[in-house]
Amino acid sequence: MKKLGILLFLFSFSVLSLQGVTKNKTEVNKVDFNKEYQKLKDASIGEQFISINKSYERDSVGYTFIDKNSVKLHPYNKNIRQFNKVTNYIPSLNYEQINGNKVPYHSMVIQEFANCDKMEIAEGKIQIYANYFGDGKLISENQLINRWVATNPGTDMRVLLVIACSLPLVN
């Protein structure tokens, strides 16, 4: 019985010491996160970008914006609006290239198409950039097949669609 008591005592001591180690790591991550978050406090956020939502992907936090300067009518169909949705990630995510190299990136710009009459949305070209708000080196670019998706009331896609349809067009 004494051996079991000593074993439990040592085990509890080791667990308590591990909590201190993980706490120090999380404090370091919080400091890094705060430094990165300060980079998102750009003056153009209110002028050029509208904040839409906050999401979590892997170990990063994504902040999604609509670029007000990109809202325009589709060149071939005047019933469709097109705009850019910009997502910034803190800390950066890694993009794996064909040769196996992993390149860190901070933002993804997705060209969106909105049919405001039918409340449908489609995605177009996806661009991945090294810096925030679609600035810096272009890391990757993919063209998606435009498939219309109906949006349901109360979803994030419907909120995105309603905001994009209510924005003025850029001349």
At residue 56, what are phi and psi to the nearest 5 degrees? Answer: -120, 125
- pLDDT recorded at residue 75: 92
pLDDT-derived band at 35 (thresholds 50, 70, 90) equals low
CB 74 within 8 A of CB 81: yes
The CA distance from 81 to 36, in Å, is 33
Domains of the chain, by residue range, sit at: 45-166
What pLDDT digit, counting tens, does each position of 72-130 carry?
A: 999 999 999 999 999 999 988 888 887 888 899 999 999 999 999 999 999 999 999 99
- The number of angstroms, rounded, from the C-alpha of 155 to the middle of its chain's C-alpha atoms is 17
Least confident segment among 28-37, 42-51, 142-151 = 28-37
The CA distance from 131 to 36, in Å, is 11
What pLDDT digit, counting tens, does each position of 44-87 carry?
A: 677 889 999 999 988 899 999 999 999 999 999 999 999 999 99
- pLDDT recorded at residue 28: 42
Looking at the predicted structure, is the pLDDT value of residue 145 above 50?
A: yes
CATH of domain 45-166: 2.40.128.710
- pLDDT recorded at residue 118: 94
Q: What is the pTM of this model?
A: 0.75
Looking at the predicted structure, is the pLDDT value of residue 11 above 80?
A: no
